[in-house]
Amino acid sequence: MQNGSTTSSDLNQLIRVNFISLGCAKNLVDTEKMLATLAEGGLLLVGPDDPADVTIINTCSFIESARQEAFETIEEVIDLKQAGQTGRVVVAGCLAQQWADKLKARLPEIDAVVGLSGRAQIDRIVKELVQHPEQTANADRVFVDSFRGPVQQDRGRLRITDPGWAYLRVSEGCNQGCTFCTIPAIRGPFRSKDPDEILAEAAELISDGVLEINLIGQETTGFGHDINHPDGLANLLTQLNELPGLEWLRVLYAHPASLTDPLIETMADCEKVLPYIDLPLQHINDRILKLMNRHITRSQTETLIQKLRDRIKNLTLRTTLIIGFPSETDQEFQELLDFVTSNRFEALGAFAYSAEAGTAAARLGNHLPDDLKQQRLDELMLAQQQIAFEQADALVGQSLSCLLCRELPDYEVDRLNLDNQLSWFAARHPGQAPEMDSLCYLAADSSFASENVNLDQIDPNLSNPDQVSPDQIQFYQIEPDQIVPATITSRDDYDLLGHIQID
């Protein structure tokens, strides 16, 4: 090694780590923090098709389908280990936290299990596995402690989202006590992150080129209640709204029972807070809501929705629903279906109820058969699809501000059957949250035709576009990670197509 550079010989000596991230946005933040820890610890991060000394799977365990995905992924990596394409196998995240010893018993080929509190030691654990195989061969490599302490700071992440946007975690755990949910058992009670830490993290993200911050937590609207700040999220939004360089601020994972009037007013008044809220309602029937322990009634829910729509102009309201909760009757499902069709949510996700061991709901009687739950889910999502298509059609012809996330490679342009004579970008307007909502696909003339060039802004003395030099026209080149005006021209299923407006 000379002058601080790394030679090919040095690279050959580095421990190669492949990382697989599963699950939700909170898990993704943990992944980004672990990636940074590994890189700072001198380990070499490699792609999924490259040989690796260690493969880490950061898992989800929220519902049965997430656990099934996790186990399938772990088994695929074990197959790679047995084929000599990867060395050690490390399982991290929520499944590791919840199952711990069960994982090693079920899949003894796993070399280490790392719980949520082991995130900061991931580089040391990996090094020990590779550098001291004789000490770890038969050791019980389970690094799982009770996850109940202060919220870990998330600064210094190696972000793997598009450069222009990021998640920012404001809290950990949950105290709501929903009877179907395992989050308190996995991630512990509700704890707010220190407000100064959140502001410092936001400033760091903005300095790294982030234009859009998406606030996340198991229950973002509860922020501050545990640290004697009952209007904590409202105050936090006000402070974040004042940060220079931030363009968009989005609230995800709100709980309807803790969405207060002051918070609604703050969301409406802060110019950078997008008119968007992710508000999982889970159900609307009063009996089911009580069985779920949601701390809210149908009447209160309807009042809340009306307040939101009255106060926040052009609101996009996203919700999530559970279909087939134990003892849900035909009439109660029909009530939920009618509620969805009458309220016409701009975005909606739903999933069939999954009985989770250790939860109060799992102990209820009259669990519904899987085929009935799926039938109801399909019926509801078909109704929502029609609503979503009609609302997307209503945007055709409108001009929307859009965040350009990434330029599409040629193969994706071809896959989407887009005009390959144009440059295309994946983008989102304010009513589209990352990773959960639809996208905008926006075209830009890759030749920067003369009619799209305002000569006066380059040089008032120019009269012919041919006089514009490449250096001058660079001002008009369109690149990702900026917010631009776009005209929506059509719909493709849930996604929108359009073109970028160039003055």
Q: Which domains does the chain have, with CATH numbers?
A: 9-143 (3.40.50.12160), 165-393 (3.80.30.20), 399-500 (no CATH)
Query: pLDDT class for 135, splitting at 50, 70, 90?
Result: low
Q: Rounded distance, CA 234 to CA 240, Å?
A: 10
- What residues pair up with 443 in beta bridges, in sequence order? 424, 499
Average pLDDT, the chain: 90
- At residue 464, does pLDDT exceed 90? no
Summarize the confidence of residues 23-35 as an average pLDDT.
94
Start-to-end C-alpha separation, the chain: 51
Residues in the chain: 503
Query: pLDDT class for 193, splitting at 50, 70, 90?
Result: very high
Summarize the confidence of residues 63-79 as an average pLDDT.
93
Summarize the confidence of residues 22-27 as an average pLDDT.
92
Angle at which helices 370-393 and 330-343 cross, to 10°: 10
- What residues pair up with 483 in beta bridges, in sequence order? 403
If you average pLDDT over each of 76-85, 182-191, 331-340, which comes out highest?
331-340
Query: pLDDT class for 502, splitting at 50, 70, 90?
Result: confident
**Predicted confidence (pLDDT) per residue in 141-181, tens digit:** 888 887 778 889 999 999 999 999 999 999 999 999 999 99
Which residues are within 8 A (CB) of 65 and not within 5 positions of it... i.e. 6 or more apart?
Answer: 351, 354
| CA-closest candidate to residue 169, choices 22, 33, 320 | 33
Using only the alpha carbons of the chain, give its radius of gyration: 25
Q: What percent of the chain has pLDDT over 90?
A: 79
**Of all residues in the chain, what percent are helix, strand and coil, respectively (each to 5)?**
40, 20, 40
- At residue 445, does pLDDT exceed 70? no
Supply the pTM of this predicted model: 0.90
Residue 458 or 238, more confident: 238
**Predicted confidence (pLDDT) per residue in 197-219, tens digit:** 999 999 999 999 999 999 999 99
